Amino acid sequence: MKGVKIGLEIHEQLDTESKLFCSCPTDYRDAEPNKSICPVCTGQPGSKPFGLNEKALNAVIKIAIALNCKIIVGKPVQVRRKHYIYPDLPSGYQRTSESIGVEGELNNVQIHEVHLEEDPGRFFLREGLVDLNRSGTPLIEITTDPVFDSPPHAREWLEKLASILDYLNVTKKEEGTMRIDANISLNNGNKVEIKNINSFRNVEKALSFEITRQEDLIRRNQTVERETRHFDEKMILTSPSRKKETEEDYRHMPDPDIPPLLIKKELVEKIKKTLPELPQSKAARFVKLYKLSGQNAENIVSDPYAADMFENVSKFVNPILASNWFVGQLKKTLNYNNMTLRGSKITEKQLAALLKMLEKGKITERAAELALREMVLRPADPKKIIENLGLLEFGDLNTIIKEILDKNEKAVNDYKTGRKEAFEYLVGQVMKITKGSADPEEIRRLLKRRL
């Protein structure tokens, strides 16, 4: 698409035990509304922020390093107040730090800056209710330059970013904690911001709708207003926000209650040492060490859990065979069941045993696939699964073939005299006995070997 410029602002909750400026726990999801609160995070008169949660700061530094940012070292970083009135914001201002990392880059996308801020509570407009359990939870905000040229580009990159965050293991794991603001302009026109989108798929949908909407306005010689819009998931369209954010002046002011942060070089060095191997270098290593295709390697490393399991399984079976199963049948089966590998509870021992049986020719691919489907839902020893499902091991298939050949001397002779249909008849006989659990290709191969 020509002239499309998209920038993203990503908010993700950091995985700390307590809130950013008080000691309330952050695992508010299981708590009753307004139970995980104190005078600080509810903005009671006279309350003050405690010291900034160091774990949250360290998490932001870690992410900023992984995103190749320059960390603001040795220079005071202020925590500022961003003023606005909304029922979910108990103090009437949100505390947000100045940039902690700047000028980063990930997959050819420039990262403008990274900083720390506090999450507001939640306001249920229709019911008129407020739940402040979330209020004060630490958030990282990552802002990119407006460099995406299409909605799919933005979505693909977000998936890369999510994978990196997954590796760093300092953000919340629960679904739906990431919120994205996307801004978009066409042909250097006015910028429209779509706020608070809750999934990558919706980012793509919202942006696609915006492009169509703006193109339509331009075609009709109407101006695209500079405004904030909201994405309606059900209607798949964007509409102007109630709050006229662009006109608002947040009156940013350093928070006198919080002394400026001073990030030391030694701290950055120390955090650098805790960085895990990140997906890009891991993929390169997989290609070199295990001779995987680049595509398979990239696919596997996008999930750190899968990458670790793959490496362990590869100790027992051929890595290429393993990689094909990871990106093929395993992924397909998990997706079909709407599960993640971690969520499935399959152990690497079970998976390795299954692939080992396949590798040794004890079961057919077809049987392995059927066993895997069962294993994803009810993880167990593959031998037992195969037995329970009545799937035959490969050794048995040979016995069956021998029996069929013994019984059908006429067909064998017909085949040997050049009658092709006799072969298909034999295949059919084996299929009949194995009740479809054997792979027809496998049967053909074994038959040919015997004849």
Partner 1 sequence: MKLNEKVNSYLANISKSKLNAFISINKHAENDAERIQKKIDAGKAGRLAGYVFSIKDNIAVSGMRLTCASKMLENYISPYDATVVKRIIAEDGLIIGKVNMDEFACGASGETSYFGPTLNPHDTGRVPGGSSAGSATSVAAGLSDVSLGSDTGGSIRCPASFCGVFGFKPTYGTVSRYGLVDMAMSLDQIGPVTKNVSDAALILSVINGSDKMDNTVTGTQQDYTKFVKQKITGVKIGVVEEFFEGCEHAIEKNVRDGIEILKNEGANIVKVSVPKTAIAVPTYYLNMFAEFSSAMQKFDGLKYGFRKDGKDINDTVAESRSALGEEVKRRILLGTYITMKEFRGKWYSTALKARETIRHEMIQALKKCDLLIGPTMPFTAFKLGEKIKDPVEMYLADILTVSANLSGLPAASIPLNVSGLPIGMQLHANAGEEVKILAAAAAYEGASK
Q: Which residues bind partner 1 (CB under 8 A)?
A: 39-40, 42-52, 81, 83, 85-87, 90-93, 130, 249, 251, 253, 255-259
Give whole-number Cα distances, 323 to 212, 220, 267, 309, 351, in Å.
Answer: 40, 52, 38, 11, 12
Q: How far is the CB of 138 from partner 1 (least distance, A)?
A: 16
Rank residues 80 and 179 by Cβ distance to partner 1 and give the closer one.
80
Q: How far is the CB of 34 from partner 1 (least distance, A)?
A: 11
Q: How far is the CB of 48 from partner 1 (least distance, A)?
A: 5
The pairing of strands 253-254 and 237-240 is unpaired
Q: Residue 215 contacts by C-beta under 8 Å, 6 or more apart in sequence?
A: 186
CA distance 334 to 342: 10
Rank residues 248 and 424 by Cβ distance to partner 1 and give the closer one.
248
Rank residues 57 and 353 by Cβ distance to partner 1 and give the closer one.
57
With H, G, I as helix, E, B as strand and everything else as coil, classify residue 23: coil
- In 51-136, alpha helices (H): 54-66
With H, G, I as helix, E, B as strand and everything else as coil, classify residue 228: strand
Rank residues 81 and 205 by Cβ distance to partner 1 and give the closer one.
81
CA distance 82 to 430: 74
Rank residues 81 and 282 by Cβ distance to partner 1 and give the closer one.
81
Rank residues 128 and 390 by Cβ distance to partner 1 and give the closer one.
128
Q: How far is the CB of 51 from partner 1 (least distance, A)?
A: 5
Q: How far is the CB of 87 from partner 1 (least distance, A)?
A: 5
CA distance 63 to 103: 13
Q: How far is the CB of 43 from partner 1 (least distance, A)?
A: 5
Rank residues 42 and 96 by Cβ distance to partner 1 and give the closer one.
42
The pairing of strands 179-186 and 4-13 is antiparallel
Q: How far is the CB of 191 from partner 1 (least distance, A)?
A: 18
For residue 150, which amino acid is it?
S
Strand partners, 451: none
Residue 61 tokens, joined: 């530094």
Rank residues 20 and 306 by Cβ distance to partner 1 and give the closer one.
20
Q: Which of 271, 301, 272, 275 is nearest to 286 (CA)?
A: 301
Residue 268 tokens, joined: 């950055």
Q: How far is the CB of 135 from partner 1 (least distance, A)?
A: 11
Q: What region, left, alpha or beta, does residue 347 occupy, with left being phi > 0 and alpha being psi -120 to 50 degrees?
A: beta
Q: How far is the CB of 137 from partner 1 (least distance, A)?
A: 18
Q: How far is the CB of 79 from partner 1 (least distance, A)?
A: 10
Residue 365 tokens, joined: 């691919």
Rank residues 130 and 447 by Cβ distance to partner 1 and give the closer one.
130
CA distance 227 to 351: 52
The pairing of strands 227-232 and 192-197 is parallel
Q: How far is the CB of 243 from partner 1 (least distance, A)?
A: 9
Terminal-residue alpha carbon distance, the chain: 60
Rank residues 155 and 195 by Cβ distance to partner 1 and give the closer one.
195
CA distance 442 to 83: 70
Rank residues 133 and 214 by Cβ distance to partner 1 and give the closer one.
133
Q: Residue 303 contacts by C-beta under 8 Å, 6 or more apart in sequence?
A: 163, 166, 340, 341, 342
